[in-house]
Amino acid sequence: MKIHVLVTGSNGQLGKSLSTLINNHTYNSLQFTFTTKATLDISNQKQIDTYFQSNNFNYCINCAAYTAVDKAEEEKEQAFLVNAIGAKNLAEVSKRYGVTLIHISTDFVFNGSKREPYLETDTPNPINVYGDSKLQGERFIQSTLKHYFIIRTSWLYSEFGNNFVKTMLRLGAEKKELHVVNDQIGSPTYAKDLAEVICKIVITKNTQFGLYHYSNQGILSWFEFAQAIFNVTQNNIQLKPIPTSGYPTPAKRPLYSVLSSSKIHQNLRIEEKKVLFSLKNCLQNI
């Protein structure tokens, strides 16, 4: 029997990565319904209710998010409408119809003052509007549902949309020298790997509900990630490391936002793929 899965925000990196798995025989027990803001606006609870009522979903994977970190500083209301109220709406409707909600969150719920990987038990303390809006979304879900998975991830990239890898490739083709921040430390995550993790949770009908961290395995700075990208693509561009202070942005970023994936490994038997392995996979698809 097919497992019916709703995917919101399917035109983003993760949504598109999930759609590439449709033809993979490993996931042929899943029947996906992909929606965008045009077909399902998560800020409109009435619309969500009507949509759930006319479909028989088992799971909802919420990939819909306001992700413009710098823009969010000026568009706080819009960021909270999608990331907090949208999550609340999905949680309330999921509860009504007995749907398990899988929600994607971010490393930006932390302030970056730690110097070892963040655990799910660490206290969040966001330093920008985007992180705050995502944290409020998490809390709405946790206070509404029992059957949920919240997966925090970090430094998401893919062959789709705008992300650091694609920006580096574009700039690498245009310039001879690039300045890249070297004092923000994290773990890049290939969206396709995260998509596969989510599908594994659904297929196994796992009931170890709760909050989890997932990223690819590896700790590096943006500068080191850029080095890896250009090493793989054999581009001899000159890279110069600069501090965050040399590249000011409207939104503050945590200087350290590495997530520990030990809980998801222990509870859900999920293995992390190594950063370089996943980067090579992604670059082959661009």
Q: How far apart are CA 146 and CA 84, in angstroms?
A: 18
Q: H or E stretch including 61?
A: strand 59-62
Q: Residue 260 corresponds to which amino acid?
A: S
Q: Are strands 30-34 and 177-181 parallel, antiparallel or unpaired?
A: unpaired
Q: How far apart are CA 138 and CA 243, in angstroms?
A: 31
How far from chain centre, in Å, is Cα 275?
15
Residue 175: how many CA atoms within 13 Å on its side-chain side? Answer: 14
Q: How far apart are CA 72 and CA 156, in angstroms?
A: 18
CB atoms within 10 A of CB 205: 10
Active-site residue, 130 included? yes
Q: Measure the CA dihedral 219/221/224/230, to 10°.
A: 110
| Helices and strands of the chain, counted as H and E runs | 10, 12
Distances from the Cα of 115 to the Cα of 110, 151, 257, angstroms = 12, 21, 9
Structure tokens of 126? 């966001």
How far from chain centre, in Å, is Cα 81?
18
How far from chain centre, in Å, is Cα 195?
10
Of 51, 118, 130, 214, which is the active-site residue? Answer: 130
- Which residues make beta-bridge pairs with 240? 179
Q: How far apart are CA 145 and CA 139, in angstroms?
A: 10
Question: Active-site residue numbers?
Answer: 130
